[in-house]
Amino acid sequence: MSFLTLGYRSYSSLDQIREACSAGADIYAVSFRVSMLNALKYVHADRLAPWTMDDSFNDRVFDLFAKMPMEWIPMGVRRQGFPFDADAFFQQLSSED
């Protein structure tokens, strides 16, 4: 598994993510969202730069991203684009300044 950035720490396994989450959290959903957020950073690093420090996201990014409607991508399914509205995410992120 690739490394996932969650807050100011990196995690390389689901067990490590489980330890960072509260009891009852859907670890696969958390992992999926963190992976999508890292993909967003890869594609739109310049747009995320104001909310990124030392290669980590600030709390506002996580709070908003946790609430974004997102389509689950089943294993083996090819998809073009993100499973969420990236433009709406950035619009909401900017409007909270």
What's the domain range around 88? 4-95
pLDDT of residue 87: 95
* pTM for this entry: 0.74
Number of domains in the chain: 1
Q: Is residue 7 a contact partner of residue 56, using CB atoms and an 8 Å limit?
A: yes
Where are the strands (E) in 20-90, listed by range?
52-53, 56-57
Is the pLDDT at 6 greater than 60? The verdict is no
Mean pLDDT throughout 12-27?
A: 80
- For 40-77, the pLDDT digits (tens) are 988 999 999 998 887 778 888 888 998 999 998 888 88
pLDDT of residue 7: 46
Q: CA 59 to CA 7: how far, in whole Å?
A: 7
